[in-house]
Amino acid sequence: MNDWTISNKTLLIYRIVFMILSWFTIIASAVIYAVTIGPILDWFNSFKAFTMQTNLIVTIWFTLAILWYNKPETLDKISGPLKGAFTLYITITFVFFAIFLSPFYQPTGFAAFSNLVLHYITPIAFIVDWILTEIKEQYKWKYLLYWITYPLCYMIFAVIHGTITGNYLYYFFDISALGILEFVVFISILIAIGIALGCMYIAINRKRVIQQYVE
């Protein structure tokens, strides 16, 4: 028996709770921006941030998982290695913010609530969901090559965007401020952490699937 097994109904309720919380945070952010800052179209620039992209991805995943609750074959199409990739991405959001960004970002008001949801609650909720469910299919090590494509492409985008606009989105992509050497060190650390996290998820999945069949 899998020690982490829970009923499908409990899992559904769990996903509904965090889907509502995530959508509320994203939509409320847009509304507050439109009311207090400027045109709603300008708010969509926030999706240049890795945080917003990955939160949108997992929130959509939660939504589809709920809609396809009684369609296991359809749900399987967004599980397995695809869910593993999404889990890696939202984990990167969680870990990188906690380590590299949180000391420099101390928001108040709704921004503090949004920060808590987007950087901590939703990532942790999705990671827990992965732990509870990803035991049907054994991951292959080659999946890591596919998984890291998006983060690497995002890094390239952030550097090009910063070079053109002067807005590097995250300070560790700012070559002009860091210098070439420090920039290379930062990028190497980020890539190493991303690969390590991906390897961790694959290793955990493989071990749990094997244990399940042994038991």
14: helix, strand or coil: helix
In-domain check, residue 25: yes
Q: What does the pLDDT look like over 66-114, one tens digit per residue?
A: 999 999 999 999 999 999 999 999 999 999 999 999 999 999 999 999 9
Q: Which tokens in the block code for residue 49?
A: 């941030």
In-domain check, residue 134: yes
Which amino acid is residue 99, in one-letter code?
I
pTM value > 0.85:
yes
In-domain check, residue 2: no
Give the pLDDT score at 215. 60
Residue 173 Cα to chain centre, angstroms: 19
Q: What does the pLDDT look like over 191-201, one tens digit per residue?
A: 999 999 999 99
Distance CA 58, CA 73 (A): 19
In-domain check, residue 1: no
In-domain check, residue 118: yes
162 contact partners, CB below 8 Å, separation of at least 6: 168, 169, 173, 174, 175
* Domains identified in the chain, total number: 1
Which amino acid is residue 153, in one-letter code?
C
Range of the domain at 166: 8-214
Q: What secondary structure letter does DSSP report for 138?
A: P
